[in-house]
Amino acid sequence: MQATVRDFDAATRSGSVYLDDGTELPFGAEAFDAGPLRLLRSGQRVNITVDGGRVTYVTLSTFPLPGSPSVSPPHA
């Protein structure tokens, strides 16, 4: 699922995102630490995983989510 970063606090490694329908979802350090990122900026597009209404993983929109199929290069 894609979202847009609303805010991010580098000290606590937590923040919130807006879903495309405008819903705001907070995320904690656990969700941020689960991904490969070191920093987020307001307005940045991200991919998130949500479980039970809670964000569990945050990464850049150009990075795959865990468990998503990888894209293979075309065969020549």
Alpha-carbon span 22 to 11, nearest angstrom = 26
> From CA 18, how far away is CA 24, in angstroms rounded?
4
List, for residues 48-67, the tens digit of each pLDDT value. Answer: 999 998 999 999 987 777 77
The model's pLDDT over 2-53, given as tens digits with 9 standing for 90+, comes to 999 999 999 999 999 999 999 999 999 999 999 889 999 999 999 999 999 8
pLDDT at 69: 56
Distances in Å between the Cα of 31 and the Cα atoms of 15, 58, 65, 70, 75 are 10, 6, 12, 21, 36
Measure the CA–CA gap between 75 and 18, rounded to whole angstroms.
38
Confidence label for 70 from pLDDT (cuts 50, 70 and 90): low
Residue 71 has pLDDT above 80, yes or no: no
Please give the model's pTM, rounded to 2 decimal places.
0.82
Give the helix/strand (H/E) hosting 24: strand 24-27
- Domains, the chain, with CATH or none: 2-60 (2.40.50)
